[in-house]
Structures are given as structure tokens and as C-alpha cells.
Amino acid sequence: MALMQAAVLLVIGVVLGALFLLVAFGFRRHTRRWLVIGLIVVALAYVSFARERPAWLLVELAGVGLYGAVSWAGLRGSPWWIVAAWALHPVWDIVLHYVGPGRAFAPVWYTVPCVSFDLVVAVYVAYRVRDRHAETL
């Protein structure tokens, strides 16, 4: 992939991540729910990409379960669980789907922006939690 193409895809992820945060934080009483549902949705995209590969389908469903469980812990508990789930998802994107065997079915147009999307969400939520704005989560 050309450097310029990667840069454009990363910027797209940043913009989409910022838009998602506007929506999630726009619903102040349900921000945590939006953040958890959002992570489950981005993880489910990989399930749809792997739908014709039964073994990979199980791996992707396990990923949804893993990231869903970690972020779900942040619904009632510490919002740092939500931060952790979003911060760890880029590992799934890069190691498994960008450079790993999942690249056979996961499109680059999704994996690259997903990395920056995930990181924008993780960093902003961490900022809000650390800056004592957790009451708005």
C-alpha cells in the first residue's frame, strides 16, 4: 500500500472516530452504552468479512466476545475498561488483519481506518475519564 493511500485511510478513521464521539457524547445519559455498542459493531464487521471461512468466523466471533466483555465491564464499573477495549482493538486490526493471516479476507479500506478510529476513541475517552469528566460517561 502506498504511503499516501495509508495516510488518507488513517485520516478517514480519525474523522469517523471524531464523528462517532460526537454522537456518543451527545447522548449524555447513554454515552457508555454508545461506546460499548460502537466497539461491538466495529468488531462485528470482521465477522461479516469472514462469513465464508468457518474457522475464521469462530476467531472473529471470539474477538467480538472478548472486546464486548471487556467494554461491557465498563458499563457499570470503571470506564477505564471501555478505554482498554478500544485501545486494544488496534492490535486486532494490525496483527490479525493488516499484516496477519486475516488480511486474506479483511479489506485494507476497513482495517487501516479502523486503527485510527479506535485510537481516537480510546484517547478521547481516556482524556475524559482522567480529566474527571467520567460523570458524563
pLDDT digits (tens, 9 = 90+) for 62-114: 999 999 999 999 998 999 999 999 999 999 999 999 999 999 999 999 999 99
- Cα angle, residue 95 at apex, residues 38 and 67 outer, rounded to 5°: 30
Please state the domain count of the chain.
Answer: 1
- Cα angle, residue 118 at apex, residues 81 and 70 outer, rounded to 5°: 25
Mean pLDDT of the chain: 93
Is the distance from CB of 24 to CB of 38 less than 8 angstroms?
A: yes
- Categorize the per-residue pLDDT at 134 as very low, low, confident or very high, splitting at 50, 70 and 90: low
Domain range for 72? 3-136
Helices (H), the chain: 3-26, 31-49, 54-76, 80-91, 108-130
